[in-house]
């Protein structure tokens, strides 16, 4: 089986040999140039390429990769119309599903699940058919998942602390008021007992 490097280089050479008009008719487009997603969520990356109804499915070669620093991580490959799952990089193992039903229509749909922040980057899809060779690129940005409990926990803790403090202050004021009332009442009673004019 040919490796990606060999057939890609052959694609480049063969595409150079095509006429300008023929090469211009074969295009690989992205349905979206950039994607935003959150960690652990899923996303669907999609490319389209021009096809002919009379074209041979065996002439279809596809390689979709993430352009990581100093290397490419393959997430999907089709060789002579057949998917090659073993070519998938372990980074994407078990996380990429392709929509085979739309492939004959010239659509590459890849569902990537359990996204990681390291999935962020430039995704490129190389496509070769009997009509030519081209590629399309899109960018994915995966943000770290926000902890929904953290922003709420801090204000709640602060509020509870404030309520407790105010509760202690109010309780102290009530105790002082009660003690003051008792003291005044006791003083009046005592004064009344020693005053013969008090009825």
Half-sphere exposure of 49 (CA within 13 A, CB side): 25
Provide the greatest CA pair distance for the chain: 129
Bridge partners, residue 140, by sequence: 35, 121
Q: What is the pLDDT of residues 133-184, one digit of tens each?
A: 999 999 999 999 877 655 554 555 566 666 677 677 777 766 677 667 766 7
How do beta strands 96-98 and 107-112 pair?
antiparallel
- pLDDT, average across residues 10-25: 46
pLDDT at 14 over 50: no
pLDDT score for 143: 95
How is the beta sheet containing 132-143 ordered, strand by strand?
A: 34-38, 132-143, 121-129, 61-68, 71-79, 82-83
Checking phi first, is residue 81 left (phi over 0); if not, alpha (psi -120 to 50) or beta? left
Report the C-alpha gap between 41 and 115 in whole angstroms.
6
Listed by start position, the domains of the chain span 4-143, 149-199
Residue-level pLDDT at 19? 36
> What gap in Å lies between CA 82 and CA 11, rounded to an integer?
18
**pLDDT tens digits, 23-75:** 558 999 999 999 999 999 999 999 999 887 555 667 899 999 999 888 899 99
* Of residues 152 and 125, more confidently modeled: 125
Single out the residue of 107, 112, 133, 123 nearest to residue 27, CA to CA. Answer: 133
**So what CATH class is 4-143?**
mainly beta
Q: What are phi and psi of 70, to 5 degrees?
A: 70, 5
- Give me the pLDDT at residue 154, please: 52
């Amino acid at each position: 089986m040919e490796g990606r490097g060999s057939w890609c280089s052959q694609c480049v050479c063969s595409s150079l040999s095509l006429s300008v008009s023929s090469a211009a008719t074969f295009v690989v487009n992205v349905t979206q140039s950039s994607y935003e997603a959150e960690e652990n969520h899923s996303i669907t990356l999609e490319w389209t390429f021009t096809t002919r109804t009379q074209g041979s499915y065996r002439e279809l070669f596809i390689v979709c990769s993430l352009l990581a620093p100093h290397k490419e991580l393959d997430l999907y490959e089709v060789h002579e119309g057949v998917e090659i799952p073993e070519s998938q990089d372990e980074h994407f193992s078990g996380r990429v599903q392709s929509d085979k039903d739309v492939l004959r229509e010239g659509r590459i749909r890849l569902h990537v699940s359990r996204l990681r922040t390291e999935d962020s980057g430039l995704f490129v899809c190389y496509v070769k058919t009997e009509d030519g060779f081209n590629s399309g690129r899109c960018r994915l940005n995966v943000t770290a998942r926000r902890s929904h409990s953290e922003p709420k926990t801090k204000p709640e803790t602060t509020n509870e602390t404030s309520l407790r403090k105010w509760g202690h202050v109010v309780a102290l004021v009530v105790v002082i008021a009660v003690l003051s009332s008792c003291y005044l009442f006791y003083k009046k009673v005592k004064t009344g007992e020693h005053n013969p004019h008090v009825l």
